Structure 1
Amino acid sequence: MADQQQKATLRLCGPRGFCAGVDRAIQIVVLALKKYGAPVYVRHEIVHNRYVVEGLETRGAVFVEDLHQIPETEQPVIFSAHGVPKSVPEAASARNMLYLDATCPLVSKVHKQAMLHERRGRHVLLVGHKGHPEVIGTMGQLPDGAVTLVETPEDVDAFELPEDTGLGFVTQTTLSVDDTQDVIDRIHQKFPHVVAPAAESICYATTNRQQAVKAAAPGTDVFLVVGAPNSSNSKRLVEVAERAGATHAALVQNAGEIDWATFPEGDGLTIALSAGASAPEVLIEEIIETMRARFDLTIELAETTIEDEEFMVNRELRDVPLTAKDMAFVNGPA
């Protein structure tokens, strides 16, 4: 009976989950499968979420890490939402491959800002995490030696700029706003004449999700973030929750990964739930239903803004109809 269950309040963050760039990337794969049939090849995970990747695999998508893994074929290859170095489409063209670029438009904007710095004779500092696909893609837009990656204020301290060389910076889109500011402040302190990007590099979705987490975290006993272990923006949400006052914060990929031992006993339990930009709503709904079965649950919406951005898919795919049924594997039944 519900009255025998532990009473708990769930603060459900909004915005959460899919951003416009992720939604567009998944749509591109789904539409390509409808237009060209299976297989459709995808270089790297289209987004960092195994549920999404496995769902697309069942529909005929084949994920590879390098183009050389793709046999001679007339079927298309899709580049992931994280972006790729210039060498990748060049290699695809050299093999006469049909390719579709699913790079998030906000990542493409960072590429353009970095290239603008370089064209104007500036060395480029990229604030980001070494090895992340987005960082690899951004650095790969410029000639070797034209960009330096900095992750911390200490990296900035160690960087020396040749005399008579201009300097500009850009940032990875999925970083913690607070951590990035520390690095950017140090860049401005050491190099007062540095040129900032024309627009904020950290994407609106990253900022919005972090603001919602900050609003929900104070006084929270357990804060769950739905996301993959290799999802940068999801891991940043866990860090933001801990800094903003959550007693315990954890990243989970699904309801089965929840560690119930971290939930205090007794009524008055406060839980918060958010999701990284590559986590589908069906996983969030699964966790909510699991909590309803376990607790006498009251849900409060911790919504800080409403997102209505939409990014158009590639021109080659705009004549293909997209139905709710096509996307039900990530959005739930229509």
Structure 2
Amino acid sequence: MDAAKPPLRILLCAPRGFCAGVVRAIDAVEEALRRYGAPVYVRHEIVHNKFVVDSLKKKGAIFVEELDEVPDTNAPVIFSAHGVPKSVPADAAERRMFAIDATCPLVTKVHREAEIHHRKGRHILLIGHNGHPEVVGTMGQLPPGTITLVETPEDARTINPPACDDLAYVTQTTLSVDDTAEMVEILRSRFPNLSAPHKEDICYATTNRQEAVKQVAPQVDAMIVVGAPNSSNSQRLREAAERAGCDRAVLLQRASEIDWTVFSGITTLGITAGASAPEVLVDEIVSAFSERYDTAVEIATTAEEKVFFPLPRALRSDAAE
């Protein structure tokens, strides 16, 4: 052991980092660049991670917030993993754009559920965060006034939807499992006939990463969540660590953001990563701690993930070229 360095046990949560929907979205941009060359336009950050976005920019991706920022072009225009309102592909079609939809299939599932409930005459309660691109996309699947957003338990207690007897709920895919369960319970107590999703809307990756954090957080002095401030699933991981008993839980984008005073005196450290954070950033943070501590790294596995989503049809090798 290096006498100059204090010992530090690092528990790496598994699963962590990229989920299947994020891998598919990033691969879609890279395959479009390989197949069609630069530039490739991307509406909104393809995933919420600056490192990923900057690396794709270097390869020739141009990120825009709205389609009116895209010039008249034959270049591909890719929609982000978070999903888009129906007006966006309609605008793209009107402008004869070569649009590629990289919406995560699990987000698309929520869109389809909302449409089915709407066709059955139900008013929809959407549990999610106002302004998050996934929520904007889901609300944009249906006419205004057909979806009511529920952000907090207080909202669940007080909202007055227009049709109390024929309601259904859907949720954003990246929410806190525990918070959502609380809100659903409140809504069910108020609206006993509330229709639920056929299968849980919160995605497998969000659920698995939160569960891993809940297992590790009580065992460590501090927890680092590698992820972006605008990443919903990363913020929920930090909250989950705090709730599970880890007072020093911080969200970091990179090793350069480490405030070493926060970690003074620790002997155990948990590390996880949001679903849009690449493993290279986890490695970077582990290396930074290894420079100051005599580290012993362990993997804390709570689930195995084998989910795979194929590329959007327009980019598959079996599609007509």
Normalising by the smaller structure, the TM-score range is over 0.9
CA positional deviation for 1:157: 2.2
- How many residues are aligned here? 318
Calculate the TM-score normalised by the size of structure 1. 0.93
C-alpha distance after superposition, 1:132-181 (max 9, x if no partner):
00000000001110000001121122222335751000000000000111
2:272 counterpart of 1:274:
yes
Cα distance in 1, alignment partners of residues 207 and 31 from structure 2: 29
Cα distance in 1, alignment partners of residues 304 and 219 from structure 2: 24
Residue 207 of structure 2 is matched in structure 1 by: 207
In structure 2, relative to structure 1, the CA distance for the partners of 1:40 and 1:163 (3 Å cut) is closer
Residue 250 of structure 2 is matched in structure 1 by: 250
CA positional deviation for 1:196: 0.4
Residue 9 of structure 2 is matched in structure 1 by: 9
Taking the TM superposition and a 5 Å limit, the aligned residue runs for 1:18-37 are 18-37=18-37
| Paired amino acid for 1:135 | V
In structure 2, relative to structure 1, the CA distance for the partners of 1:270 and 1:315 (3 Å cut) is same
Does structure 2 retain, via aligned residues, the 8 Å contact 1:121–1:165?
no
Residue 127 of structure 2 is matched in structure 1 by: 127
CA positional deviation for 1:315: 2.0
CA positional deviation for 1:55: 0.2
Residue 233 of structure 1 is matched in structure 2 by: 233
Stretches of structure 2 that go unaligned for 5 or more consecutive residues are: none
Cα distance in 1, alignment partners of residues 163 and 61 from structure 2: 50
Residue 318 of structure 1 is matched in structure 2 by: 316
CA positional deviation for 1:247: 2.6
Calculate the TM-score normalised by the size of structure 2. 0.97
Give 2:294's match in structure 1, choosing from 283, 296, 319: 296
Cα distance in 2, alignment partners of residues 3 and 136 from structure 1: 54
SS of 1:186 mapped into structure 2: helix
Cα distance in 1, alignment partners of residues 163 and 277 from structure 2: 46
SS of 2:75 mapped into structure 1: coil
In structure 2, relative to structure 1, the CA distance for the partners of 1:164 and 1:173 (3 Å cut) is closer
| Paired amino acid for 1:295 | Y
In structure 2, relative to structure 1, the CA distance for the partners of 1:164 and 1:44 (3 Å cut) is closer
Does structure 2 retain, via aligned residues, the 8 Å contact 1:221–1:264?
no
In structure 2, relative to structure 1, the CA distance for the partners of 1:214 and 1:120 (3 Å cut) is same
Cα distance in 2, alignment partners of residues 82 and 103 from structure 1: 6
Stretches of structure 1 that go unaligned for 5 or more consecutive residues are: 321-334
Does structure 2 retain, via aligned residues, the 8 Å contact 1:217–1:245?
yes
| Paired amino acid for 1:262 | V
Cα distance in 2, alignment partners of residues 31 and 20 from structure 1: 16
Does structure 2 retain, via aligned residues, the 8 Å contact 1:220–1:247?
no
Does structure 2 retain, via aligned residues, the 8 Å contact 1:220–1:245?
no
| Paired amino acid for 1:263 | F
Does structure 2 retain, via aligned residues, the 8 Å contact 1:74–1:97?
yes
Residue 105 of structure 1 is matched in structure 2 by: 105
Between 1:59-68 and 1:310-319, the stretch displaced more is 310-319
Between 1:120-129 and 1:1-10, the stretch displaced more is 1-10
Residue 263 of structure 1 is matched in structure 2 by: 263
SS of 2:269 mapped into structure 1: strand
Structure 1 residue ranges (4+ consecutive) displaced by more than 4 angstroms after TM superposition:
none
Name the Cα RMSD after superposition.
Answer: 1.2
| Paired amino acid for 1:174 | T
Residue 142 of structure 2 is matched in structure 1 by: 142
Cα distance in 2, alignment partners of residues 260 and 195 from structure 1: 49
In structure 2, relative to structure 1, the CA distance for the partners of 1:34 and 1:300 (3 Å cut) is same
2:120 counterpart of 1:115:
no
Between 1:285-294 and 1:169-178, the stretch displaced more is 285-294
In structure 2, relative to structure 1, the CA distance for the partners of 1:175 and 1:94 (3 Å cut) is same
SS of 2:295 mapped into structure 1: strand
In structure 2, relative to structure 1, the CA distance for the partners of 1:163 and 1:241 (3 Å cut) is closer
Cα distance in 2, alignment partners of residues 147 and 165 from structure 1: 15
Residue 54 of structure 2 is matched in structure 1 by: 54
Counting aligned pairs with the same residue, the percent is 57
| Paired amino acid for 1:96 | R
Does structure 2 retain, via aligned residues, the 8 Å contact 1:18–1:278?
yes
Cα distance in 2, alignment partners of residues 188 and 59 from structure 1: 49
Residue 80 of structure 1 is matched in structure 2 by: 80
Between 1:150-159 and 1:191-200, the stretch displaced more is 150-159
Residue 69 of structure 2 is matched in structure 1 by: 69
Cα distance in 2, alignment partners of residues 19 and 154 from structure 1: 31
CA positional deviation for 1:271: 0.4
Cα distance in 1, alignment partners of residues 163 and 270 from structure 2: 50
